[in-house]
Amino acid sequence: MSDLLWQPAKDRIENANVTRFRRWVNDKHDLDLASFTALYDWSVDHLDAFWPAIIDFAELKAESWGERVLIDGDKMPGAQFFPDARLNFAENLLVRDDNSDALVFWGEDKVKSRMSWAELNIAVSKFSQALRAEGVVKGDRVCGYMPNMMETVVAMLASATIGATWSSASPDFGVQGVVDRFGQIEPTIMITVDGYHYNGKQHDIREKVRDVVDRIDSLKKVVIVPYAFDGENTTNIRGGVTYDDFIAGYHGTKIQFEQVEFNHPLYVMFSSGTTGKPKCIIHGTGGTLLKQVSEHVLHCDVAPGDRVFYFTTCGWMMWNWLMAGLAAGATLLLYDGSPFYPSGNILFDYADAERMTLFGTSAKYIDALAKADLKPRQTHDLSSVRAMTSTGSPLAPESFDYVYRDIKEDIHLASISGGTDILGCFVLACPVLPVKRGVIQTRALGVAVDVFDDDGKPVRNEKGELVCTKPFPSMPIGFWNDPDGARYHSAYFDKFDNIWCHGDYVELDDEGGMVIYGRSDATLNPGGVRIGTAEIYRQVELLPEIQESIVIGQEWDNDVRVILFVVLRDNYTLDTDLIDKIKKQIRSNCTPRHVPAKVIAVADIPRTKSGKITELAVRDVVHGRPVKNQEALANPTALELFSNLDDLKS
């Protein structure tokens, strides 16, 4: 089978945004960059020219970008882009004010609605005025416990007009998971729903909302969108008000866009490791805008009039990424619910009905389509769909085959990868390069991606750590409650000095293509949703039957599945009832994605001499890999308990 699966047509290459950008750069800087590869090399060698070029080419707005582009560019962390800039994120997304679609929403097969650009501007104006009337000012936090629906977009944009900081979680999160996240950042306003639709059923979250509000004292107002239950029985939620009542009395006046610093906090994202509550990652206004616009416009070829879809929840960074499609003048196609209800055709029905141009999804979804033996190519038109992007976990070579065989032959299929940590991608699509089976096409423009061996030396065509050797604008501006930056430094810069180490195990070829083999750290990543083991431990070890536990991600069926090992207290047995109890505890207080695929009893758990459990060592044993630094373990013989287990072979 040939590795080459797709080659862009000559006219597509000539008309691509990135081709126009390359020629524009050549003219502006008197260069002769003859290929995308040459453009990439220039972009990472001349950061002080590349990022201003993005601003000019995409016509991004600011009160001032300032004279300085990059200071302390040799420091990671510590580098600062555009330190004198003043801009507003929402102003750069609300780029149109006409009657064409800005947002389209499908809630499974039950709810369909749309909002024009003119209506979006009015809605953002009203919500922004209502926030200001509640005393929300620059730097305050506004959070959404929301499905991926139009009101969520409005609330985020309205928050950004003021310079407030937005954070969101999806309504399938349990109470503890929400409190662990929002409780740390002390929001003043929360927008939520009464319930949501999933797999044809209504899920009531009003009791969960009441519990969340009761445990976050900082909340002054809770705006409730009637969605699944028409807003009934919401008045007994502290500070509760319906969405319509919240904006009542306000008119669609000209929006006041507060101009903020380049690194002013725009989003707080959540990512957790092996200990403690989820880390609150703070992302800046300007860096998020520049990085995401560069990806939409140059890498995904998004242009005014395009219709961009990503299957995502508000608990995943791809929701934040999707929002930036507005800055390119595109329509956002939003979806909430199961992608397989009432059948596996729903998203392809959506694609045809709304003339989708970019179909974004997860590798797990594509794999599930293949296993269901669905053949959209035979049942749907899909003539409008130019590109399909896949992220969350590496897209298997067999999934590449499936897309071209059973979805569409002439489509730009791109596996992309980055993360919550950077609100964008390290490696991603390129509309002017061929697609090869199982290979991510390219590194991100303006991001100096490399692969290091254990000694910190660059390597090609062999596996190593994904690193970034120079700063880029969407690096986090820090972690919440990390005043000296110690946690931030530890997360990315401990392994190699002054080098971002991302925790992906990858291979880079001579042409700039990449294959990702999985995570190189202990963070779980089932279906592309990053899960910190600490969140699972907190719930499991509340149960009286459990003495201790350790959780890992097992590579399985082109994805990762969560495996939980438990040490039981005396006189208890791991039977079906206890396994069900453990899973229910995790599902109720975290999310369904946290629930382990397998729960296995063990007699002991390996730990270091300082008493820390060793997830990486257990994971290596499960996968038949040698364990490094066994001398650091207090009880290395415990590793044998995890070797060659029959339960992990099915």
SS3 348: helix
Identify which of 149, 215, 218 has the alpha carbon closest to the alpha carbon of residue 178: 215
Of 238, 258, 278, the one marking the end of a domain is: 258
* pLDDT tens per residue across span 185-197: 999 999 999 999 9
Residue after which a domain boundary falls, among 217, 243, 258? 258
Interstrand relation of 514-519 and 307-310 (parallel, antiparallel or unpaired): unpaired
Instruction: Give how far Cα 89 sits from Cα of 22, 141, 160, 300, Å.
Output: 26, 15, 6, 20
Position with higher pLDDT, 72 vs 174: 72
Instruction: Clarify whether residues 379 and 287 are in a common domain.
Output: yes
Residue 483 CB contacts under 8 Å (≥ 6 apart), including other chains? none
337 shares a domain with 393: yes
Q: How many of the other CB atoms lie within 10 Å of CB of 373?
A: 9
Q: Which two tokens stand for residue 534?
A: 């600490």
Whole-Å CA distances, 145 to 142, 274, 335 = 10, 24, 16
Percent of the chain with pLDDT over 90: 81
Rounded Cα gap, residues 476 and 484, in angstroms: 14
Q: In whole angstroms, give the CA distance from residue 285 to residue 266.
A: 5
Q: Are residues 426 and 384 in the same domain?
A: yes
At 252, which CATH number?
Answer: 3.40.50.980
pLDDT (0 to 100) of residue 2: 62
Domain final residue pick, 519, 542, 565: 519
Same-domain status, 137 and 250:
yes
* Cα 154 to Cα 619: distance, rounded to the nearest angstrom: 43
When pLDDT is cut at 50, 70 and 90, the band that residue 274 belongs to is very low
Does the structure show a pLDDT above 70 at 273? no
Q: By the 8 A CB rule, do 539 and 590 touch?
A: yes
Higher pLDDT, 70 or 172: 70
Q: For residue 52, is the peptide bond before it cis, meaning its omega torsion is within 30 degrees of 0? A: no
Q: Return the number of other C-beta atoms located less than 10 Å from residue 72's C-beta.
A: 12
Quick: pLDDT tens for 542-570.
899 998 899 999 999 888 899 999 999 88
What domain range is 401 assigned to?
Answer: 4-93+263-519
CB 506 within 8 A of CB 514: yes
Q: Do 471 and 427 sit in the same domain of this protein?
A: yes
DSSP 583-645: HHHHHHHS-GGGS-SEEEE-S---BBTTS-B-HHHHHHHHTTPPPTTGGGBS-GGGGGGGSS-
Are 399 and 349 found together in one domain?
Answer: yes
Q: Say yes or no: 362 and 470 in one domain.
A: yes
Q: Residue 270, class by beta-carbon neighbours within 10 Å (0-12 exposed, 13-18 middle, 19+ buried)?
A: buried
Task: Give domain status of residue 105, yes or no.
Answer: no
Number of domains in the chain: 3
For residue 545, tell me if it sits in a domain: yes
CATH of the domain at 370: 3.40.50.12780
Which residue type occupies 11?
Answer: D
| 212, 349: one domain | no
How far is it, in rounded angstroms, from Cα 619 to Cα 528? 18
Residue ranges with strand state E in 411-543: 412-415, 417-419, 424-428, 435-436, 442-443, 449-452, 463-468, 478-479, 500-508, 514-519
pLDDT over 50 (residue 1): no
Amino acid 229: pLDDT: 85
Q: Which residue blocks in 164-302 are alpha helix, DSSP H?
A: 175-185, 206-215, 243-247, 285-294
- Mean confidence (pLDDT) of the chain: 93
Q: What is the 3-state secondary structure (H, E, C) of 542-582?
A: CCCCEEEEEEEEEEECCEEEEEEEEEECCCCCCCHHHHHHH
CATH of the domain at 558: 3.30.300.30
Going by pLDDT thresholds of 50, 70 and 90, the confidence category of residue 629 is low
pLDDT at 272 over 80: no
User: What is the signed CA dihedral for 485, 491, 492, 495, rounded to 10 degrees?
Assistant: 110
Cβ–Cβ < 8 Å for 332, 354: no
